[in-house]
């Protein structure tokens, strides 16, 4: 089965939570692991879109440069790991936006992905290229990304 | 090691689940169609013990291509195609010879689609035809090792065909996602490790592992339902595999509590029936989720006489509510803010109680 950027990240989060950071994990010598911790926390919101946007890219095309897993282990504390937020709230949510500011009436277009890209990005929308919509039957709810778009 | 030390931060999880619960409240007011299931047929060439729809035993008049064309045109006109995923299921969808015509048309007007299948009819040529018709994702059922699978699905040779199907799909090399799905029972739970070894050698994208649900034909086989120990074994298996970076996941059903939420799947529990998900049955009835018991009161309309979007926006009230409001025990439970009474498909509408609740099994 295919290990992807997303499965590697999940594994790292779960392993870290289980205090297994001192163990040698099977993929530690794999260059692809360098992308496990992804971009800094301030880009977490764009990361969730990037994760989906990269659905059509192979892992070899990923241009992210992250610290190696080994470097991150020594100071890693799940309490401080903003990456956890990537898989938390829906991508739309940022620090300044609260639930009170959401108004369903402001969602203008019925056919717009509510928590998707800004409207201007939809002008040239082509379903052929939107990896986020090609979802597994019984896959995750939309706001959690796309079961078929894991680092593909 | 105490389990609290092993898992992701509980506070983070509960914060995210609270956000999701708030989001769910908004979606109840303004539902967003994302998954439209099309049950193309109730015919099936297998007789799976666990079939939620009792397929193969129910006769149903199927709708012709022209009806599907009209319905798809209307959905596109009223709701667009962006963000809507067509989910093709049955029965066995490939028993419909016009599947490629229907779904090829859907793709031509902008819909993306995926499918579930038993794989018995997916030859190399069929796999290519599915790609040419625009199929993006597919999940093929493999419910155990060969002997178990064939017995469970009452199909001699079914396992070999399903495994061949997965390979044929992988060989096309162009699908967005090829997945195997295994329904776990008390009988086959001991085969998970061996199944993993088999799937691990294949170039599929993921393996979805789900429990047998007490619905449909499965109700006649209560001895196959998972015990409490089976459930913990199942979820520990999935979590361990995910810790190893393997693309194994649980399905969309059921609230799992602090320990296993977010750990055995990449999202938190969210029953999307009537909120994100609607279905059109083989006879044209508009319902929420095809796994939900086919009660007359759950039929919201029929595409032969009703416009789908009108039904979606004006009906479905019976699904846009919390089932926990119907049960006294659920109302008292501190987890109801996250589970809402759990999944619609496993709710007992006669007794008004959840048939599957992991309180006492996975959480207190």
Can you say how many angstroms the Cα of residue B309 is from the centroid of all Cα atoms in its chain?
22
Q: In this model, does residue A1 exceed pLDDT 50?
A: yes
Within chain B, what is the greatest distance between any pair of CA atoms?
60
Do A14 and B242 lie within an 8 Å CB cutoff?
A: yes
Q: Do A127 and B204 touch (CB under 8 A)?
A: no
Question: Which residues, 6 or more positions from B236, have their beta carbon under 8 angstroms from its beta carbon?
Answer: none
What residue of A is the nearest CA neighbor of B22? A99
User: CB distance B243–A18 less than 8 Å?
Assistant: yes
- A97 contact residues in B (CB cutoff 8 A): none
> Which chain A residues touch B139 with a CB distance below 8 Å?
136-138
The shortest C-alpha distance from A80 to chain B (Å) reads: 10
Chain B residues touching A79 at Cβ < 8 A: 9
Strands, E assignment, B185-284: 206-211, 248-249, 277-280
Q: How far apart are the C-alpha atoms of B84 and A133, rounded to whole Å?
A: 7
Per-residue confidence band for A5, with pLDDT thresholds at 50, 70 and 90: confident
Nearest to B137 among A93, A112, A134 (CB): A134
**Residues of chain A neighbouring B26 (CB-CB closer than 8 A):** 102, 104
Are residues A148 and B205, on separate chains, in Cβ contact within 8 Å? yes
Q: Do the chains contact at B114 and A150, CB–CB below 8 Å? A: no
Whether B289 contacts B283, CB under 8 Å: no
Burial class (CB in 10 A: 0-12, 13-18, 19+), A20: middle
* Pair of tokens at residue B145: 């090792």
pLDDT of B49: 85
Token pair recorded at residue A29:
């010598």
**Lateral strand order in the sheet of B35-39:** B248-249, B206-211, B177-184, B135-141, B112-117, B85-89, B35-39, B277-280, B285-287, B301-302
Do B50 and B149 meet the contact criterion of CB atoms below 8 Å apart?
no
Q: Which helix (H) or strand (E) holds B347?
A: strand B347-348
Cα Dmax for chain A: 51
Give me the DSSP letters along B30-74. S----EEEEE--S--S---TT-TT-TTSS--PPPPHHHHHHHHHH
B254, two tokens: 């059921």
Sign, CA torsion A129/A130/A131/A137: negative
Answer whether 0.95 is exceeded by the pTM.
Answer: no
B6's enclosing H/E stretch is helix B3-6
Cβ contact A113–B137 (<8 Å): no
Mutation site for B-interface testing, chosen from A3, A48, A69, A148 by largest number of B Cβ within 10 Å: A148
Best A137, A144, A151 member to test B by mutation, with max B CBs in 10 Å, is A137
Strands, E, within B173-234: which ranges? 177-184, 206-211
More confident residue, A38 or B323: B323
pLDDT of residue B358: 96
More confident residue, A6 or B330: B330
Helix (H) or strand (E) holding B141: strand B135-141
| pLDDT score of A4 | 87
A139 or B79, which is more confident: B79
Distance in Å, alpha carbon of A74 to nearest chain B alpha carbon? 18
State the 10-residue block means of pLDDT for chain B, 364 residues long.
Answer: 63 92 92 95 90 70 96 97 93 95 97 96 98 96 97 94 98 96 96 98 96 89 94 96 94 93 91 95 96 94 98 96 96 95 95 95 92
Q: What is the pLDDT of residue A145?
A: 52
State the pLDDT at residue B108.
97
Q: Which residues of chain B have a CB within 8 Å of the CB of A10?
A: 242, 245, 266
pLDDT for residue B183: 96
Tokens 């938190």 correspond to what residue?
B268
pLDDT at A138: 74
Residue of A nearest to B265 (CA): A140
Predicted local distance difference test score (pLDDT) of residue A133: 52
- What pLDDT, in 10s, does the model give residues A100-129? 443 434 433 333 323 333 333 333 444 344
Question: Residue B111: CA atoms inside 13 Å, Cβ hemisphere, count?
Answer: 31
B-interface mutation test, from A4, A5, A14, A126, most B Cβ less than 10 A away: A14
Which residue of chain A comes nearest to B112, CA vs CA?
A134
Q: Which residue has the tokens 């609607």?
A: B278
- What pLDDT does A134 receive? 67
The answer to whether the Cβ–Cβ distance between A110 and B79 falls below 8 Å is yes
Residue B186 token pair? 């008390």
Pairwise CB contact (< 8 Å): B203 & A139: no
- Spatial distance between the Cα atoms of A62 and A8, rounded to a whole number of angstroms: 14
Return all residues near A89 (Cβ < 8 A) that are at least 6 apart. Answer: B16, B19, B20
The helix (H) or strand (E) run that includes residue B110 is none
Cβ B200–A1 below 8 Å, yes or no? Answer: yes
- A34-62 mean pLDDT: 35
For tokens 């969602």, the residue is: A107
The partner residues of B278 in beta bridges, in order of sequence, read: B36
Cα(B224)–Cα(B80) distance, rounded to whole angstroms? 43
Cβ separation A147–B266 shorter than 8 A: yes
Nearest Cα residue to B37 out of A138, A140, A131: A138
Of B8, B139, B200, the CB nearest to A13: B8
A78 vs B37: CA distance, rounded Å = 39
Cβ(B63)–Cβ(B283) below 8 Å: yes
d(CA A126, CA B112): 11
């Amino acid at each position: 089965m295919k290990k992807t950027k997303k499965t590697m990240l999940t594994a790292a989060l779960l392993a870290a939570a289980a205090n297994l950071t001192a163990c040698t994990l099977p993929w530690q010598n794999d260059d692809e692991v360098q992308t496990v911790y992804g971009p800094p926390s301030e880009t977490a919101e764009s990361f969730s879109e990037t994760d989906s946007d990269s659905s059509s890219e192979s892992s070899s095309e990923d241009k992210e440069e992250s610290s190696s897993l080994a470097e991150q282990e020594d100071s890693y504390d799940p309490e401080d790991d903003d990456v956890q937020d990537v898989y938390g709230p829906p991508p739309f949510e940022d620090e300044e936006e609260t639930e009170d500011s959401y108004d369903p009436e402001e969602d203008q277009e019925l056919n717009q992905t509510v928590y998707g890209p800004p409207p201007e990005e939809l002008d040239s929308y082509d379903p052929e290229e939107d990896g986020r919509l090609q979802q597994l039957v019984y896959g995750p709810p939309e706001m959690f990304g796309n079961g078929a778009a894991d680092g593909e | 090691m105490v389990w609290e030390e092993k898992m992701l931060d509980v506070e983070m999880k509960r914060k995210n689940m609270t956000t999701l619960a708030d989001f769910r409240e908004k979606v109840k007011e303004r539902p967003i169609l994302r998954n439209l299931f099309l049950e193309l047929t109730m015919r099936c060439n297998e007789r799976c013990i666990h079939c939620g729809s009792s397929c193969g035993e129910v006769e149903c008049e199927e709708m012709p291509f022209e009806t599907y064309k009209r319905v798809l045109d209307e959905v596109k006109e009223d709701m667009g195609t962006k963000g809507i995923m067509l989910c093709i299921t049955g029965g066995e969808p490939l028993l419909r010879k016009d599947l490629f015509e229907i779904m090829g048309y859907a793709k031509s007007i902008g819909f993306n689609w995926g499918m579930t299948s038993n794989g018995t009819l997916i030859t190399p040529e069929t796999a290519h035809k599915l790609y040419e018709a625009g199929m993006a994702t597919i999940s093929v059922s493999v419910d155990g090792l060969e002997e178990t699978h064939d017995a469970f699905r009452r199909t001699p040779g079914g396992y070999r065909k399903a495994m061949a199907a997965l390979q044929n799909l992988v060989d096309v090399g162009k699908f967005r996602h090829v997945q195997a799905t295994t329904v776990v029972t008390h009988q086959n739970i001991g085969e998970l490790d061996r199944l993993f070894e088999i799937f691990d050698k294949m170039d599929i994208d993921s393996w979805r592992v789900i429990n047998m649900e007490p619905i449909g034909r499965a109700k006649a086989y209560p001895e196959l339902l998972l015990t409490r120990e089976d459930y913990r074994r199942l979820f520990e298996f999935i979590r361990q595999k995910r810790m190893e970076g393997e693309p194994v996941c649980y399905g969309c059903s059921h609230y799992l509590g602090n320990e296993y939420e977010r750990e055995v799947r990449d999202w938190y529990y969210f029953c999307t029936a009537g909120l994100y998900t609607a279905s059109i049955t083989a006879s044209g009835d508009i319902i929420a989720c095809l796994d939900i018991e086919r009660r007359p009161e759950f039929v919201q309309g029929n595409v032969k006489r009703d416009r789908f979007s009108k039904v979606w926006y004006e009906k479905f009230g019976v699904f846009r509510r919390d089932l926990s409001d119907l049960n006294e025990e659920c109302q008292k439970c501190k987890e109801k803010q996250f589970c809402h009474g759990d999944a619609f498909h496993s709710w007992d509408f006669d007794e008004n109680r959840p048939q599957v609740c992991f309180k006492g099994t996975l959480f207190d």
